[in-house]
Chain A
Amino acid sequence: MAAAPYRGGWLAAGIGLLLLFPLSSPDAFFLDVFTTGFLLAAFAASWDVVGGVSGQITLGHALPFGVAAYACALLTSLAGWPLPLALAAAVLLAAAVGAGIGGLSAPLAGPFVALLTLALGEIAHEAAVGNTFFSGPGGYAWGGEGGIPVALPWEDASPFSSYYAALAFLCIASFGMLRFSRSGAGLILRAVAGSPITAQASGVPIARFKRLAFTVGSAFAGAAGACFAVHVGRATATDLSLELSFQAATFAAVGGRGTIVGPVVAALVLHVLFQGLSLPPSARVLLYALTLLVTLRFFPGGVVGTVRDLALRIGGNGKEGPRSPRRRNRNRTGEGTP
């Protein structure tokens, strides 16, 4: 995927609108939807660092998200750590988890990375659902489906402050990831994604760079997860679920993989749309799956990427888009093994 030709002006306008939105005195429900949406958008962007920029298709990205959420909850409420310290520890732990996943998956290719990450994520999910080892104050067991509460230093966060805090987090995190994906390391990762063999032949230690991608992506996912746990007030097993990993992949596929900004926009639009309609959770996952299938089938380069190709083809003096013709031929004849 090429670097995104997003215009800074449009982004600024979007952020401005989002800054103004709470001033129109909306329902607290919509503020909450947006707050969750910001955190999910940061999570989707962190998926994109791993799955888009460096092409390691992970289906277990909820693992660092959930690990950080649980770490944040356990450290604040059981160990009694102050919240900022717990947040930092959670992010570090998520990065370490990411390094571990990256180390395991580095020798694997293509769909087997997806398989391994999926299996790791599901193990963590099962462990979180089944475990009621930690007994909280008062003697009753924590964990299982109910999750573990986060001890917060404030009583009741106003929806406005949560909204602005989440928005600020999204902006900072996206900026960081965007910088990373356009840095020298990001460029090498794109080369690894494009062709690992060529990258290796050019002297790139691909295993180390794959691990780096997983570490960075997981650290940001962990930051999003810890913030999510703080926002919701507890860490639950759904923070580790396959559905969550899958949602991130959906956002990235719809928004265009490798663009960082695309997944953020897609996450915000889709989440606000589906959540704002207050559908039941299973209907939402169903809609996400449908959206993804339609996207993958008709816009293999993501909606944004395909529209860009179209625009190039129409606006570029009859010249065809850079990649699309070859791809379509490959599809038609069915050549090329995955």
Chain B
Amino acid sequence: MLLDGLFAGGTYALMAAGMALILGVVKVINLSHGAFFTLGAYVAYALAERGIETPIAAAPLAAVIAFAFGVFLGKSFVNPVRSHPFALPVGTLACALLFEQAAQMVWGPHPLSIEAGKPWIGPGGLVVRRWGVIAFFSSAALLGGLKWVLSARPGLPLRLIAEDEEIAGSLGMDVETIRYLTFGGACAMAAAAGALLSPSGAVTPTMGRAPLLLSLVVVIVAGMDSVAAIFLLSIGLGIFGNACAWFLSPQWSYVALLSAVCLLLAVRPAGIVALAGRRD
């Protein structure tokens, strides 16, 4: 149970990092992030139905599909309406619901499951699930790559835009293009996380809601600066969520996450507002 939480949390970190990237560079709260997670899971399911059962194959494919959708969404919706405080949360929520309903019409409302492969039995009867190991290490690798990209030269425009978009623009950077590419990339990360985690449980149209909230909590608490903090906090929340699901019932982990969001917002409004606004 602990290990499962660890693996799931590590993969959620990938998604949370995407959320942080969007919040930092595009400066919006993307409520459709969970839909991309679901998209990844359904891609993995569709592949598994056709005999390709490894999430290693599903994750890149899901990422490419999500990148395409994300770029479209970022370019044609998020960028034009960014200055409208009403349009963004409601619009991204609309995207999420749109996708949920489309998934429900294509694949049906019933939970689907993917053959997870035989778990390995470690010493002392320790059950290590194969998907978990794969998901954990690939997301850790991807996160490491992200950290490197952000700190190295290619990530410079992203950091600059997060810091001060006007200076970035006056330096001749195409801020809008970088924005929608970032949006697409972050969506791809969410979809990859969904594909990697898909064998862990049931694939349903609304499965993306809990990871969405989890990454919101992570981003609110850990901030957007440190990939390592996001990683550790996601693991903690993954274990916490799994513990809730284990001791109570699966739906309670969703409720626990929701309550965490409410509590955070009630306790730390000033800190969060400062986080969403300009940080200088």
Closest to A104 in B: B266
Q: Render A294-338 as a binary contact track against B, CB cut-off 8 A, 1 for contact.
A: 001100100000000000000000000000000100110111111
Residue of A nearest to B249 (CB): A130
Q: Which residues of chain B (162-199) have a CB below 8 Å from chain A?
A: 165-166, 169, 175-176, 179
Q: Is the interface of A mostly helix, strand, loop or mixed?
A: helix
- Give every chain B residue within 8 A of A249 (Cβ-Cβ): 90
Contacts of A57 in B (CB 8 A): 85-86, 89-90
Q: A296–B88 Cα gap in the complex (Å)?
A: 9
Residues of B within 8 A of A242 (CB): 93, 97
Among B87, B255, B265, the residue within 8 A (CB) of A126 is B255
Complex-state Cα separation, A297 to B90, whole angstroms: 12
A289: B residues at CB distance < 8 A = 94-95, 97-98, 101
Q: Is the CB of B262 within 8 A of A119?
A: yes
The DSSP consensus for interface residues of chain B is helix
At the interface, yes or no: B27 with Cβ under 8 Å from chain A?
yes
In the complex, are the beta carbons of A122 and B265 less than 8 A apart?
no
B95, A293: Cβ atoms under 8 Å? yes
Task: Report yes or no: B265 in contact with A115, Cβ–Cβ below 8 A.
Answer: yes
B95: A residues at CB distance < 8 A: 289, 293
Task: Flag the segment in A12-20, A149-157, A278-286 that touches B.
Answer: A278-286
> What residues on A are CB-neighbors of B91 within 8 Å?
292-293, 296-297
The reply to whether the CB of A231 lies closer than 8 angstroms to some CB of chain B is no
Assess the B28–A338 pair: CB atoms within 8 A.
yes
Whether A286 and B105, one on each chain, are in contact in the complex, defined by CB atoms closer than 8 angstroms, is yes
Known interface pairs A119-B213, A283-B101; A338-B88 also in contact (CB < 8 Å): yes
B-chain residues with CB within 8 Å of residue A246 when the two chains form the complex: 90, 93-94, 97
Q: Point out the residue from A120, A285, A286, A296 that lies within 8 Å of B90, measured CB to CB.
A: A296
Check A171 for interface membership: any CB of B closer than 8 A: no
Q: Kindly supply a per-residue 1/0 record for chain B positions 124-164, scoring 1 wherever the CB is within 8 Å of any chain A CB and 0 otherwise.
A: 00000000000000000000000000000000000000000
In-complex Cβ contact of B269 among A112, A122, A123, A127 (8 A): A112
Asked if A338 contacts B265 (CB within 8 A), the reply is no
Give the distance in Å from the alpha carbon of A283 to the alpha carbon of B104 in the complex.
10
Shortest CB distance A112–B (Å): 6
Q: How many chain B residues touch the partner (CB < 8 A)?
A: 55
Nearest residue (CB) in B for A121 is: B258
Q: Check if B262 sits within 8 Å of A120, measured CB to CB.
A: yes
Q: Are B254 and A290 in contact (CB under 8 A)?
A: no
Cβ–Cβ contact A331 & B102, under 8 A:
no
Which of B31, B79, B84 touches A300 (beta carbons < 8 Å)?
Answer: B84
Q: Is the CB of B101 within 8 A of A282?
A: yes
Query: Of the candidates B76, B81, B97, B254, which one forms a contact with A243 in the assembled complex, judged by CB atoms under 8 Å apart?
Result: B97
Chain A residues whose C-beta falls within 8 Å of the C-beta of B166 in the assembled complex: 335
B265 A293 Cβ-Cβ under 8 A? no
Residue of A nearest to B73 (CB): A293
B277 touches A337 (CB 8 A): yes
A57 to chain B, nearest CB (A): 6
Please name all residues of chain A whose beta carbon is closer than 8 Å to the beta carbon of B93 when the two chains form the complex: 59, 114, 118, 242, 246
Partner among B105, B258, B266 whose Cβ is within 8 Å of the Cβ of A122? B258
Tell me if B80 and A112 are in contact (CB < 8 A).
no
Contacts of B31 in A (CB 8 A): 114, 118
B229 vs chain A, min Cβ distance (A): 21
The residue on B at minimum CB distance from A253 is B90
Whether A123 contacts B262 by the Cβ 8 Å rule is yes
Residue in B closest to A327 when the chains form the complex, CB atoms: B83
A271 located at the interface, meaning its Cβ lies under 8 Å from any Cβ of chain B in the complex:
no
- B-side contacts of A333, CB under 8 Å: 169
The interface bits of chain B over 67-87 (1 if a CB of A lies within 8 angstroms of the residue's CB, else 0) are 000000000110111111111
A266 to chain B, nearest CB (A): 14
Q: A122-B258, A246-B93, A293-B95 are in contact. Are A112 and B276 (CB under 8 A)?
A: yes
CB of A276 closer than 8 Å to a CB of B: no
Q: At the interface, yes or no: A107 with Cβ under 8 Å from chain B? A: yes
Instruction: Please encode chain A, from 117 to 150, with 1 for each CB lying within 8 Å of some chain B CB and 0 for all others.
Output: 0111011001101100000000000000000000
Contact present for A297 and B269 (CB under 8 Å): no
| Per-residue contact bits, chain A 226-251, to B (CB 8 Å; 1 contact, 0 not) | 00000000000000001100100110
Q: Is the CB of A112 within 8 A of B273?
A: yes
In the bound complex, residues from chain B placing their C-beta under 8 Å from that of A104 are 262, 265-266
B239 at the interface (CB under 8 A from A): no
B97 proximity list for chain A (CB < 8 A): 242-243, 246, 285-286, 288-289
Known: A119-B213, A130-B251. 6 other contacts (CB 8 A): A59-B89, A104-B262, A116-B265, A119-B265, A249-B90, A297-B91
Between-chain CB contacts (< 8 Å), 5 pairs: A114-B90, A288-B97, A297-B80, A334-B79, A334-B83
Task: List chain A positions with a Cβ less than 8 A from chain B.
Answer: 51, 55, 57, 59, 104-105, 107-112, 114-116, 118-120, 122-123, 126-127, 129-130, 242-243, 246, 249-250, 253, 257, 282-283, 285-286, 288-290, 292-293, 296-297, 300, 327, 330-331, 333-338
Q: Which 6 A-B pairs have the closest CB atoms?
A: A114-B89, A289-B98, A107-B269, A286-B101, A289-B94, A119-B261
